Amino acid sequence: MKIGIVGGTGDIGEGMAMRLSPYYDVIVGSREQDKAEATCTMGREQMTKRGKPCSMKGVTNQEAVDAADVIILAIPFKHAASTLATLHGFENKIVVSPVNPMEKTDHFIFVPPAEGSAALMIRRILPKDARLCTAFNTIAANKWKALDEELEYSVPVCGDDAEAKKIVMDIVNKVSRLKAFDAGPLAVSSMVESLTPLLLNIARYNKMRDVGIQFR
Amino acid sequence: MKIGIVGGTGDIGEGMAMRLSPYYDVIVGSREQDKAEATCTMGREQMTKRGKPCSMKGVTNQEAVDAADVIILAIPFKHAASTLATLHGFENKIVVSPVNPMEKTDHFIFVPPAEGSAALMIRRILPKDARLCTAFNTIAANKWKALDEELEYSVPVCGDDAEAKKIVMDIVNKVSRLKAFDAGPLAVSSMVESLTPLLLNIARYNKMRDVGIQFR
């Protein structure tokens, strides 16, 4: 299975690409192909050093969309709408949003768009038959990149297409010790997206780092 | 320290009263004093059977407010405003809201009042110098009552009064293996309250029961 990462050279995308590369053909997308290739060179080096298989290829964001079966939108909320406006070809593809709309003042706070959540906004922008799920919302960039650490976290997954959701949950369950949980339809994705500013506040006010979550 | 529980005979309040009774003088409030006394008789029996100390006293909700240093509002969101309208005497007292505004359709969803959260609504209703915190939002009624089970959960606590928040976090940390985390000011309490409908969905869609949360 080919997993394309739009924004694959960013903070989250880079670690995500490496963590997925032993199990899937990862197509790293970027606005600049050179940067995507550099991420792949670095990624292969990191994985090889650890004796792990690694399939990564660096291309443009559009080529990542075109080539992939599953597309992860590893972009900050503030660039989500504008990036999607430059891309096409999402028809019938599984699209994963780890996007969290939030702002920082004295603390972090969930600030959803008019649609109610980033996922619902993205659904409005994408073609009707794109198969959108949310996943990976609460995994910190530093944790993605800390390849020698296991990720012992729960990952809530929202989506309206049961088959797509199953495929996304299987992808989640491949990564380290992540455990996917069905969190319901996209209509309730705001409650998943608001976990991230909550966890950032927990880290801030309790002198912790890269706090994650477990359901139990 | 005297802890009053408004709604202390309800689903959540009853287990809460028992779990707190070895460490604090628990004043169980109810609309009907008879019911509060019955809860205390049952509670003392349960605790004595387990060889644990138990200080519980059954009174009316108003007497619980009057007698207590810390008042827990163990009432469903839909009755919060109307119950508070019948009570007075919260001046300078520490008030704890475990209240979650949510609705159930096919799934559970966070439906906050105009103020943005139940806590912010309650703050508007209470006198200005009441010292309001949120706590215990995500602990399921069944878990409170399962006295032979340890509660290994994280409890986010919001509040604008640092001293009151410290006292509430100490109370949280007394109960079983609960661990209190400072989650920031009341301004971000919506992100804590929305955890509960999220956890109810996680339980529902993954065939689990009484799901809780851990930060790690």
pLDDT digits (tens, 9 = 90+) for A59-82: 999 999 999 999 999 999 999 999
Q: How far apart are the first and last CA of chain A?
A: 31
Residue ranges per domain, chain A? 2-205
For A80-135, the pLDDT digits (tens) are 999 999 999 999 999 999 999 999 999 999 999 999 999 999 999 999 999 999 99
The residue with tokens 């939108």 is A73
Strands B131-134 and A213-215: unpaired
Q: Which of B182, B188, B213 sits opposite A206 (nearest CB)?
A: B182
Residue B88's Cβ-count burial label (10 Å; 0-12, 13-18, 19+) is: exposed
Question: Over the stretch A8-39, which tens digit does the pLDDT of each residue have?
Answer: 999 999 999 999 999 999 999 999 999 999 99
Task: Chunk chain B into consecutive blocks of 10 residues (it has 216) and report each block's average pLDDT, rounded to whole numbers.
Answer: 97 97 98 97 97 98 98 98 98 98 96 98 98 98 97 98 98 98 98 98 97 97
Cβ–Cβ < 8 Å for A153, A115:
no
Please tell me the predicted confidence (pLDDT) of residue A83.
98
Contact (Cβ atoms closer than 8 angstroms) between residue A147 and residue A50: yes
Say whether the ipTM exceeds 0.90.
yes
**A215 chain-B contacts, CB cut-off 8 A:** 199, 202, 208, 211-213
**Per-residue pLDDT at A155:** 98
Closest-approach residue (CA) in chain B for A103: B188
Instruction: Please provide the CATH number assigned to the domain covering B2-205.
Output: 3.40.50.720
**What pLDDT score does A117 carry?**
98
- Interface check for A204 against chain B (CB to CB < 8 A): the answer is yes
Interchain contact, B182 vs A195, CB within 8 Å: no
Task: Give the largest CA-CA distance in chain A.
Answer: 47
User: Which member of B107, B153, B211 has the closest CB to residue A188?
Assistant: B107
List of chain A residues whose C-beta atoms are within 8 Å of the C-beta of residue B179: none
Nearest to B202 among A107, A181, A204 (CB): A181
B 103-122: CB under 8 A from A: 106-110
B213–A211 CB contact, under 8 Å: no
**A91: burial class by Cβ within 10 Å (0-12, 13-18, 19+)?**
exposed
A190 contacts B110? CB cut-off 8 A: yes
Of the partner residues B156, B191, B202, the one whose CB lies closest to the CB of residue A215: B202
Q: Cβ(A135)–Cβ(A157) under 8 Å?
A: yes
* Region for A191 from its dihedrals, namely left if φ exceeds 0, alpha if ψ lies in -120 to 50, beta otherwise: alpha
CB–CB of B188 and A107 under 8 A? yes
Q: How far apart are CA B71 and CA B6, in angstroms?
A: 7
Supply the pLDDT for residue A182: 98
State how far residue B166 is from chain A, nearest Cα, in angstroms.
12
A190-196 average pLDDT score:
98
- A207 in reach of chain B (CB within 8 A): no
CB contact under 8 A, B181 and A206: yes
Instruction: Tell if the CB–CB gap between A215 and B211 is shorter than 8 Å.
Output: yes
Would you mind telling me the total number of residues written for chain A in this entry? 216
Altogether, the residues listed in chain B come to a count of 216
**Can you tell me the distance from the alpha carbon of A27 to that of B207, in angstroms, rounded to the nearest whole number?**
35
* Residue of A120, A149, A177, A191 to mutate for B, most B C-beta atoms under 10 A: A191
Q: Is A149 on the interface with B (CB under 8 A)?
A: no
pLDDT of residue B170: 98
d(CA A172, CA A169): 5
Chain A contact present for B192, CB below 8 A: yes
Nearest to B29 by CA among B54, B1, B5: B5
Measured CA to CA in angstroms, residue A86 lies from A39, A61, B46 at distances of 22, 9, 65
Dihedral (Cα; A178, A111, B132, B134), 10-degree rounding: -20
**pLDDT band at A184; cut points 50, 70, 90:** very high
